Structure 1
Amino acid sequence: MHDVPDIQSIANRPKLDARPIGKRVGLVVLATDHTTEPDFQRLVAGPGIGVYAARIPYANPTTPENLRKMQPALTAGAALILPGETLDAICYSCTSASVVIGEEAVRAAINAAKPGVPVVTPTAASAAALRALGARRIGILTPYTLETSRPLVRYFAREGFEIAAAACLGMEDDREMARIPPGALVDLARAATPADAEALFISCTALRAALAAAEIEAAIGRPVVSSNLATAWACLGLCGDDRSRPEIGRLMALPASASRRST
């Protein structure tokens, strides 16, 4: 064994930055989620914005009862994201559960761990996105069963949108929803968008719809809002990032700060 020199202790430590990365976005995602983190790394993360995720227990099938069971885990999940440090935004990445649990209950549970941090839900973010795009009469496409889709459609009706048509795929497992090819969503969206709809909302954070948004818009000739596209846009707004990226979709060409004015 070679001799090891004494370790020198450096007395003058460097001055520390206030934060390793300027802005922080937290994600509370389902244990089964395949899609949200890759979408947020592509759409939100960058040199000035860090994305930090925690996973909470979830068991399929995707029914209102199982979705509701996540509520007690929201506080503990949020607490695991950079404990003791503040965030610029925190997103609960489940569209159907945001409806079933209720947006105010979701915010209260997350703020119990992260007081004062703005909480983004896919439902509120999507409603804000549709308003920012000027859409009032919309089509809705979900991968869920009828039982799980109905509360979601009623949510958008309560938010003042006219529902031109709604369609669902009848799927029960969010892991299978994530396996739908983005290209297949283009055909599904074309079939689900009625002629009189001003925009299409594609629900579910498991779907890889954000990858296909621009292609879908080209196919239907109208704006598309997906769950992850809307939450990414809202989180960018809370971080003050107003970059225009029309190649991703019409929503991402709008200033993200509009997400706060449209709620």
Structure 2
Amino acid sequence: MTPQFQPDRYGTRARIGLVYMASSVVMEPEMYAMAADDVSIHTSRLTLPSVTVDGIDAMMRSPELESAVRLCGQAPLDSMVFGGTSASFLHGTAWDQALIEKMTEWSPVRSTTTSTASLAALAEVGASKIALVTPYVPEVVHRAEKFFGSNGFPVQRSLGLGITSDWELAEVPLEQVYDMCLEVDGDDISAIFISCTNLRSVGAIAAIEQAIGKPVVSAIQASFWHCLNVAGVEGGAAPGYGRLFDAKMEQVRQ
């Protein structure tokens, strides 16, 4: 009799590396929720003092960043993402691209960032003018507006929660994220972007899209989607997590 084995998420299709904040708890479970059974996630962490410009800046200039990338890159990975939205857009597009270049120097793994992934995802769903939902303080929200606007996605409206504690970010319920998205929706936007990789989002994306009739992209969703693309992996996502995956999944089925 042939033995019957249960799925063990060993990563036979793809292994994704994640460089993530030590105090954050949302991104790993949300990536696993979106992942097919044969895709695995492997994490390295670094310290985030606070969710402010100064706190984020201190994290990104710390030697912990290089250590985290190098440690994660020791595993046999197919792609790696720096899982921080505000941290990768903090000082603009050149800052974000320099981070990818540094990751490539520190590790042989093909790498991306959440901000680069988010721009690619917005382009994939055909976004132009967008609304922004965040948990950030106003100064960080302003930097997000500038980053996305300068990359072809003008922000018509934004809504932030003014949270500076990483632990508090993770406590925002999906129902509140859903309500925030409906609040910023309008006829003048083509999509909504949910920023922050420690803010719950992916469980609500399909419901929000159904309610507003437009694509919704979240930082975590975009990061996972782009990691699969960087790795050259098709069909690595479970169904039900938004229009971003729909076109690719349809191509795979055909």
Q: TM-score range by the shorter chain?
A: 0.7 to 0.9
The amino acid of 1:30's aligned partner reads: M
Q: CA deviation at 1:121?
A: 1.2
Q: Is 1:34 paired with 2:25? A: yes
Unaligned runs of 5+ in 1: 1-18, 259-263
> In 2, distance between residues paired with 1:79 and 1:92?
12
Which residue does the alignment assign to 1:9? none
> In 1, distance between residues paired with 2:103 and 2:59?
12
Q: Is 1:46 paired with 2:37? A: yes
Which residue does the alignment assign to 2:84? 94
> In 2, distance between residues paired with 1:20 and 1:252?
19
The amino acid of 1:63's aligned partner reads: T
Q: How does 1:181-200 map to 2 (within 5 A)?
A: 181-200=173-192
Distance 1:240 1:210, change over 3 A: same
Give per-residue Cα distances to partners, 1:87-136, cap 9 Å, x unaligned. Answer: 22111111000012521232133223203x32221111111111111111
Q: How does 1:124-143 map to 2 (within 5 A)?
A: 124-143=116-135
Q: CA deviation at 1:237?
A: 1.6
Q: CA deviation at 1:153?
A: 0.8
Identity within the alignment, %: 31
> In 2, distance between residues paired with 1:58 and 1:25?
22
Q: CA deviation at 1:176?
A: 0.8
Equivalent of 2:68, from 64, 77, 80?
77
Q: Is 1:114 paired with 2:72? A: no
Which residue does the alignment assign to 1:205? 197
Q: CA deviation at 1:191?
A: 0.3
Give per-residue Cα distances to partners, 1:138-163, cap 9 Å, x unaligned. Answer: 11111101011111110001101122
Distance 1:161 1:20, change over 3 A: closer
Q: CA deviation at 1:22?
A: 4.6
Give per-residue Cα distances to partners, 1:173-231, cap 9 Å, x unaligned. Answer: 12111111112211111001222111000100011111110111122221100000000
> In 2, distance between residues paired with 1:163 and 1:93?
22
Which residue does the alignment assign to 1:172? 164
The amino acid of 2:243's aligned partner reads: R
Q: Which runs of 4+ in 1 moved over 4 A?
A: none
Which residue does the alignment assign to 1:57? 47
Question: RCO higher in 1 or 2 (8 Å CA, sep ≥ 6)?
Answer: 2
Which residue does the alignment assign to 1:103? 96
Which residue does the alignment assign to 1:232? 224
Distance 1:77 1:45, change over 3 A: farther
Q: Secondary structure at the match of 1:69?
A: helix
With the length of structure 1 as denominator, give the TM-score of the two structures: 0.83
With the length of structure 2 as denominator, give the TM-score of the two structures: 0.85
Q: Which protein shows a greater Rg?
A: 1
Which residue does the alignment assign to 2:241? 248
Q: Secondary structure at the match of 1:176?
A: helix
> In 2, distance between residues paired with 1:38 and 1:141?
21
Equivalent of 1:23, from 1, 14, 17?
14
Unaligned runs of 5+ in 2: 1-9
> In 2, distance between residues paired with 1:53 and 1:74?
13
Distance 1:246 1:24, change over 3 A: closer
